[in-house]
Amino acid sequence: MKNDNLKIIDGSTIAVIGGGPAGSAAAIKLIKEAGGKGIKIKVIIFEGKDFDRHYNQCVGVLSYPIREIFERNLDMRFPEHLIKREISGYVLHPSDNSTLELSGERGTYATRRILFDRFMLAAAQELGADVIRSRVTDTEFNGSGIVKVYTEDGFLKADAVVGAFGLDDGIAGVMEHASRHAFAYKRPPKVLDTLVAKAHIDLNMMQEIFGSRIHAFIPLELKKIEFGAITPKGDHIIINIAGRNLTSVDMDNFLGYPPVRGLIKGLNLAGLDYYKGKYPIRPAGGIIGDRFAAVGDATGLIRPYKGKGINVALETGAKAAEIMINNGISASALSAYPQAFDHLRADFFYGRLFRLLVILSIKTGFVERVMAMAQSDPYLRDVLFKVVSGEGTYHDIVHEIFSMKEFAALGYNFFRHLPLAVFKAKPYADR
Ligand SMILES: Cc1cc2nc3c(=O)[nH]c(=O)nc-3n(C[C@H](O)[C@H](O)[C@H](O)COP(=O)(O)OP(=O)(O)OC[C@H]3O[C@@H](n4cnc5c(N)ncnc54)[C@H](O)[C@@H]3O)c2cc1C
C-alpha cells in the first residue's frame, strides 16, 4: 500500500538516531525548515556517547567547501573558533624514496573533532532539539503506523526516524532487520578498517617538519594498509591508516615504515594509544522508506581516498530534513532525497576503477613514473591535487587523465606492466 499522504504536521515527532554531524545537521534543518513554514515539531536526538569524554573516530579535517555548506545548507555561520590550523597542501609519499608536493589547498581546516561534534549538538539543542543520552536498541516500522523506537532508557513513538548512526554495527543490523518488514535499509555500507593515533609534538618541530601540509602514504610493502596519512593539528599530529582487517601491529609497522619514521623520528611514541574505526567504501543498499531516511556515514556515500565525510554528513542531513518537511515522509515523497546525491552514487564506478588503477600502479612501480612526470607537469599535478584534496568527481578526474597528451605513453607503459601487476596485485577485497 502506498502512503503518499504521510506528512510532517503540527505536533509531529521526529527521532534522530545519532548525534554526530549528520544527526545534528538533520535536527537543525528540520527545526529551521519547519519553523519557516510555521509547523511546530518535536525533534529528539538519541546519542549514546558523551562528547565530553568519548569522540567519534576522525582526523578532523573540515574540507572545502565546508564554509559554503554551513551557510548554504544549514543557514549557519561557519564556526571559526574551532579552527586549529589551515591546511595549505599535501605531500605525497607513493614509495620509500619519492615525494611530490601539491600546494594550493583553500578553505580546508584542521579542527578537534570532539569540539566540532559538541558545537553541532549544542546548536541543535539551542534551536529546541531534545538530546537524550541513550542508545537506541530497536525500532518497529509497520508501514503506515507510528514508528516505535526502543532505547536503553525507555520507549518513544515517532512519526519519522532519521538514521544518523554512522557505521555502528549494532544499530545497522537492527535497521536492516526492521527493513525486511517495512522499508529499504537493505544492507549497511561496506567498510575498510581504520586505526588512528595521536602524538603530541613540539611546536618548532611541527612548524619545521609539517607546517600546514598533510602527508599521504601508500605503503606498498605493508600489504594490509591501503593508505595512511599524517595530519598536523594544533599541538599534535594525527596518524591514521586504512585497510582490511587492520590490527595494532599494522599501525606499529606503519610507524616504522621508513618515510613515516623519517618524519616522526624526534617524537616520543611510547604509550601511544590507538583508536579503531571504519570508513565506508560502498553505499548502503537503500536509504529511504516510509517514515525513514538514513543520512551521513549510514548511507556510505563517501568516495574512496577523498574523505570529506563530514561534508557529506552535513549535506545529507540537511537535504533529508528539507525533503521531509517540504515533500513528506512517505518513501515516494522522500525519493527526491537520494536523487539529490545521484552524482555521488554515479561516481562510485569511477571511484572503484580509480582505486584499482592506483593499486595496480603501485604494485608495478608505475606510480614512480607518474610522480616523476608530475614534478615537471603542472597539468598532471593539478589532476593529482584534485584526487588528494577531493575536489571534483572521479568521473572528471579519469577523463582528465585520458585526455592528457602524454596519456598514450603513460597508457602504453601501464598496460605493458599490467600482466605482472595482476599477478602481484591482490586488490584489497571489500568486505
Ligand atoms: C579514521 C577516520 C578519519 C576520518 N577523518 C575525516 C576527516 O578528516 N574529515 C572528514 O570530513 N571526515 C573524516 N572521516 C569521516 C567522518 O568521520 C565521518 O564521515 C563522519 O563522522 C560521519 O558523520 P555521521 O554523523 O554520519 O556519523 P558519526 O560521526 O559516526 O556519528 C554517528 C553517531 O551516532 C551514534 N550512534 C550510533 N548508534 C547509535 C545508537 N544505536 N543509539 C544512539 N546513538 C548512536 C554514535 O555514538 C555517533 O556519535 C574520518 C573517518 C575515519 C574512520
Cα 125 to Cα 27: distance, rounded to the nearest angstrom: 9
**Residue 117 shares a structural domain with residue 100:** no
* Residue among 359, 362, 367 at smallest CA distance from 430: 359
Q: Of the given ranges (51-55, 131-135, 141-145, 307-311), which has the lowest mean pLDDT?
A: 141-145
Cα 250 to Cα 65: distance, rounded to the nearest angstrom: 33
Ligand 1 closest atom vs CA 46: 43
**pTM, rounded to two decimals:** 0.91
**Residue 200 shares a structural domain with residue 248:** yes
* Residue among 358, 371, 356 at smallest CA distance from 259: 371
Is the per-residue pLDDT at 427 higher than 60? no
Region 79-84 average pLDDT: 96
Q: Of the given ranges (70-84, 332-346, 394-408), which has the lowest mean pLDDT?
A: 394-408
**Residue 128 shares a structural domain with residue 39:** yes
* Residue among 21, 112, 19, 105 at smallest CA distance from 61: 112
- What's the confidence (pLDDT) of residue 312? 94
What pLDDT digit, counting tens, does each position of 260-305 carry? 999 998 888 877 889 999 888 888 888 998 999 999 999 988 766 6
Is the per-residue pLDDT at 363 higher than 80? no
77 within a domain of the structure (yes/no): no
What pLDDT digit, counting tens, does each position of 212-225 carry? 999 999 887 888 99
Comparing 54 with 341, which gets the higher pLDDT? 341
C-alpha cell at 247: 590490527
Among residues 340, 371, 389, which one ends one of the domains?
340
Cα 97 to Cα 85: distance, rounded to the nearest angstrom: 28
**Residue 303 shares a structural domain with residue 406:** no
- Per-residue pLDDT band at 426 (split at 50, 70, 90): very low
* Averaged pLDDT of the chain: 87
Comparing 292 with 4, which gets the higher pLDDT? 292
**Residue 197 shares a structural domain with residue 270:** yes
Comparing 190 with 274, which gets the higher pLDDT? 274
CATH value at residue 214: 3.30.9.90
- What's the confidence (pLDDT) of residue 429? 37
CB proximity list for 28: less than 8 A, separation 6 or greater: 74, 76, 120, 123, 124, 127, 129, 318, 321
148 within a domain of the structure (yes/no): yes
- What's the confidence (pLDDT) of residue 350? 84
Query: Strands 160-163 and 13-17, how do they pair?
Result: parallel
Q: What are phi and psi of 67, to 5 degrees?
A: -60, -45
* Residue among 379, 380, 374, 298 at smallest CA distance from 341: 298
Is the per-residue pLDDT at 396 higher than 90? no
**Residue 298 shares a structural domain with residue 381:** no
- What's the confidence (pLDDT) of residue 422? 52
- Number of domains present in the structure of the chain: 3
Residue 330: CA count within 13 A, CB half-sphere: 11
What pLDDT digit, counting tens, does each position of 92-129 carry? 987 777 789 998 888 999 999 999 999 999 999 999 99
Ligand 1 closest atom vs CA 302: 19
CB proximity list for 65: less than 8 A, separation 6 or greater: 107, 311
**Residue 360 shares a structural domain with residue 296:** no
Q: Are 31 and 318 in contact (CB under 8 A)?
A: no
**Residue 27 shares a structural domain with residue 143:** yes
**Residue 256 shares a structural domain with residue 357:** no
Above pLDDT 70, what percent of the chain? 89
Cα 120 to Cα 4: distance, rounded to the nearest angstrom: 32
Handedness of CA 335, 284, 32, 308 (dihedral sign): negative
- What's the confidence (pLDDT) of residue 407? 61
CB proximity list for 399: less than 8 A, separation 6 or greater: none
17 within a domain of the structure (yes/no): yes
- What's the confidence (pLDDT) of residue 354? 81
CATH value at residue 303: 3.50.50.60
* Distance from chain centroid for Cα 44: 24
- What's the confidence (pLDDT) of residue 57? 79
Is the per-residue pLDDT at 33 higher than 80? yes
Ligand 1 closest atom vs CA 195: 1
Is the per-residue pLDDT at 30 higher than 70? yes
C-alpha cell at 421: 601487476
- Per-residue pLDDT band at 408 (split at 50, 70, 90): low
**Residue 100 shares a structural domain with residue 222:** yes
Beta partners for 13? 42
- Per-residue pLDDT band at 430 (split at 50, 70, 90): very low
Ligand 1 closest atom vs CA 275: 1
| Structural domain boundaries enclosing 142 | 13-60+112-189+283-340
Q: Of the given ranges (120-134, 140-154, 409-423), which has the lowest mean pLDDT?
A: 409-423
170 within a domain of the structure (yes/no): yes
**Residue 203 shares a structural domain with residue 104:** yes
* Residue among 164, 169, 182 at smallest CA distance from 293: 164
Closest C-alpha residue for ligand 1 atom 15? 309
- Per-residue pLDDT band at 186 (split at 50, 70, 90): low
Q: What is the DSSP letter of 81?
A: G
Q: What is the DSSP letter of 70?
A: I
- Binding pocket residue ranges, ligand 1, CB within 6 Å: 17-23, 46-49, 56-61, 63, 135-136, 164-166, 168, 171, 194, 196, 240, 277-279, 296-298, 307-311, 313
Among residues 322, 340, 358, which one ends one of the domains?
340
Among residues 252, 279, 306, which one ends one of the domains?
279
**Residue 293 shares a structural domain with residue 396:** no
Region 356-381 average pLDDT: 80
119 within a domain of the structure (yes/no): yes
75 within a domain of the structure (yes/no): no
The conformational region for residue 390 under phi > 0 = left, psi -120 to 50 = alpha, else beta, is left
Query: How many angstroms does the Cα of residue 287 sit away from the middle of ligand 1?
Result: 17
Whole-number Cα distances in Å, 12 to 34, 38, 88:
10, 13, 45
One DSSP character per residue, 202-225 reads -HHHIIIIITTEEEEE--TTSTTE
Is the per-residue pLDDT at 4 higher than 60? yes
Cα 178 to Cα 166: distance, rounded to the nearest angstrom: 17
Closest C-alpha residue for ligand 1 atom 26? 296
3-state secondary structure of 154: coil
211 within a domain of the structure (yes/no): yes
The secondary structure element, H or E, covering residue 275 is strand 274-282
Closest C-alpha residue for ligand 1 atom 29? 20
Whole-number Cα distances in Å, 241 to 112, 293, 384:
18, 30, 20
387 within a domain of the structure (yes/no): yes
Query: How many angstroms does the Cα of residue 117 sit away from the middle of ligand 1?
Result: 9
Identify the residue whose cell numbers are 559554503. Answer: 68
- What's the confidence (pLDDT) of residue 327? 97
Residue 281: CA count within 13 A, CB half-sphere: 23
